[in-house]
Amino acid sequence: MSEPDITTLRLDQPGIRAALGDLEAEIMDAVWRRPNGVWVTVREIWDELHPQRGIMYTTVMNTMTRLARKRLLVAEKRGKAFAYRPALSREAFVDHFVGEAIEHLMLNFSGATRSRLRRVTTRSFSSLHSCWRHSLACWVLCPCACCLSGIVGQRHWSCSGYRRPCWSWQPPT
């Protein structure tokens, strides 16, 4: 499956609403609350959302169709209706969204982005997951900028190991 189509960034919104509309976020939250791999119908999601929102069934149906087009939901025809399941976990969605945002910022505003991330990383460096510590340190602190190609091309880091370590990288003091 190809990557999700996420092009929205609303910095004034909390959580996943920064990337999705309000109804899209509510629907995705409802789908993610189900056990992994469980298929849901529009009716099930509408039954859950209707008491709070008074929303029309067709609005939920159209929104779930749009989420499938964005590759956030997988749709499968089951009889007369479609069933849906998440294309990726909530954690994978957030990771993808944050990665895309950082990549676009680095491509368009690399100096300002590196400067801002340098301030953030030195304050909260120890609380980050080890792969994020390494990748942010490479992108932000590496004086030779050899790792910048990793953010715009092939990512050379992963949680399971690094394909191409940055030899000049040193953790902040």
How many Å apart are CA 65 and CA 44, to the nearest integer?
A: 15
- The helix or strand, by DSSP H or E, that contains position 116, with its residue range, turns out to be helix 90-124
* Beta bridge pairs of residue 47: none
Write the pLDDT tens digit of every residue in 47-79: 999 999 999 999 999 999 999 999 999 999 999
pTM for the structure as a whole? 0.65
> How does residue 12 score in pLDDT terms, banded at 50, 70 and 90?
confident
- Residue 145 pLDDT: 44
Write the pLDDT tens digit of every residue in 15-48: 888 889 999 999 999 999 999 889 999 999 999 9
- Residue 101 pLDDT: 85
How many Å apart are CA 154 and CA 99, to the nearest integer?
A: 13
Rounded mean pLDDT of 116-140?
A: 58
Question: With pLDDT > 90 as the criterion, what percentage of the chain qualifies?
Answer: 38
Please choose, from the candidates 15, 23, 14, 1, the residue with its C-alpha nearest in 3D space to the C-alpha of residue 86. 1
132 vs 38 pLDDT, higher one: 38
Write the pLDDT tens digit of every residue in 69-122: 999 999 999 998 999 999 999 999 888 888 888 888 888 888 888 888 777 766
DSSP string, 13-54: S-GGGGTS-HHHHHHHHHHHTSPTT--EEHHHHHHHHHHHH-
- Residue 161 pLDDT: 40
Residue 137 CB-half CA count within 13 A = 22
Please check the confidence at residue 162 and state whether its pLDDT lies above 60. Answer: no
- Residue 22 pLDDT: 92
Domains annotated on the chain, with CATH? 15-86 (1.10.10.10), 90-162 (no CATH)
| Residues 41 and 82 sit within 8 Å (Cβ to Cβ) | yes
123 vs 97 pLDDT, higher one: 97
How many Å apart are CA 20 and CA 65, to the nearest integer?
A: 14
Please check the confidence at residue 138 and state whether its pLDDT lies above 70. Answer: no
- Read off φ and ψ for residue 145, nearest 5 degrees: 60, 25
